[in-house]
Amino acid sequence: MNNIPNRQAICDVLLEEAKTDRDIVVLCSDSRGSASMTPFSVAYPEQFVEVGIAEQSLVSISAGLARCGKKPYCASPACFLSTRSMEQGKVDAAYSNTNVKLIGVSGGISYGALGMTHHSAQDIATMSSIPNMRVYLPSDRHQTRKLIQALLKDEKPAYIRVGRNPVEDVYEEENTPFEMDKATWIKEGTDVAIIACGEMVKPAKDAACLLEKDGISASVLDMYCVKPMDEASVVKAAEKARLVVTAEEHTFIGGMGSRVAQIVSEHCPRKVICMALPDAPTIPGKSQEVFAYYGLSGEGIAKKVKENL
């Protein structure tokens, strides 16, 4: 079982790249530990900025740095980055089009029983609704690596959400398919299209295996690029199937599934079921307990597919 969380994979890439790129700057808001950025702060103290518990200032300082040629990666819990500093993300990063990379760590319900203040079950909705803000939810550490390497090459703002805990590998280290802003096809099938992002990709893949045993053929799409969404892949997957099921660690309002439903209803109408979190504080508990409760597991997704085919 993998024990490297995606947040650590981000730090690893930045550590490697900072060797030759002195413009990479990591910023934290008393969050270097939770963001796995302590190794970076130790290795490159000159390229590290601590702003204290001040997430709004965190994003604005990043924008200032970016406007002066730096490549800021500001890493803070996704809950605060996507709501408290949403306006700084909207105005200073997206609207002014600065090269600010917002790294939202411990996203979704990673923080479990810490409650709704610490959950970011609406970050896809808030960040995606901002023009010029891209939104990425990588599924495993290998894909996270490739994504950060790709993001280092562009100069536009982006929001990247990763979870707190290590997640099982979806891909093999030496063989991780990745094309920027194109969904990864994990499996092609004819009965149902399962589209997932972030930590829900692994359960989606598991669900497809379970369904296969019952003779149900599923496509599985890893839609790590929630915005800009790979519309062509959504349409292709939906066209082949009778049913579309989306799975995400987010409320069903304004998330990845909502966008999929818009695309499907416009281009190839099919029934779309959005598996997601409720429009309410989630039941208290550890993230795995909470996922199980809402059916956001391999079994849960497979069950939902069977009920609706």
Give the binding site for other proteins (CB under 8 A): 28, 30-34, 50-54, 56-57, 79-80, 84, 111, 113-118, 283-286, 289
Site for ligand TPP in 42-61 (CB under 6 A): 53
Sole residue written with tokens 């799975």: 247
Residue with Cβ nearer other proteins (37 or 302): 37
Give just the sign of the alpha carbon dihedral 5, 6, 8, 13: positive
Q: Cα Rg for the chain, rounded, in angstroms?
A: 19
**Through-space distance between the first and last CA atoms of the chain, rounded to whole angstroms:** 33
State the nearest-atom distance from the C-beta of 250 to other proteins, in Å: 19
Using the minimum distance from each CB to ligand TPP, give the nearer residue, 56 or 184.
56
- Give whichever of 77 and 189 is closer to other proteins, judged by the CB atom: 77
Q: Which residue is nearest to ligand TPP (CB)?
A: 30
C-alpha angle 38-144-48 in degrees, rounded to nearest 5 = 30
Q: Is 80 in the site for ligand TPP (CB under 6 A)?
A: yes
Pick what 232 binds: ligand TPP, other proteins, none; C-beta below 5 to 8 Å, kind-dependent: none
| Two tokens, residue 273 | 């079921």
> Residue 30 or residue 50: which is nearer to ligand TPP going by CB?
30
Nearest distance from C-beta of residue 31 to ligand TPP, angstroms? 7
> Residue 43 or residue 114: which is nearer to ligand TPP going by CB?
114
Residue 284, contacted partner among other proteins, ligand TPP, none, CB below 5-8 A by kind: other proteins
Nearest-angstrom CA–CA distance, 164 and 54: 21
The alpha carbon of residue 260 and the mean position of all alpha carbons in its chain are separated, in whole angstroms, by: 15
For residues 73 and 64, give the distance between their C-alpha atoms in angstroms, rounded to a whole number.
12
- Torsion sign (Cα): 240, 173, 17, 74: positive
Nearer to other proteins, 60 or 143 (CB): 60
Q: Kindly state the smallest distance separating residue 75's Cβ from other proteins, in Å.
A: 12
- Give the closest residue to 206 by CA, choosing from 294, 303, 299: 299
Q: Is 30 in the site for ligand TPP (CB under 6 A)?
A: yes
One-letter amino acid for residue 283 of the chain:
I
Tokens for 267? 């281009």
Q: Contact residues for ligand TPP (CB under 6 A)? A: 30, 53, 80
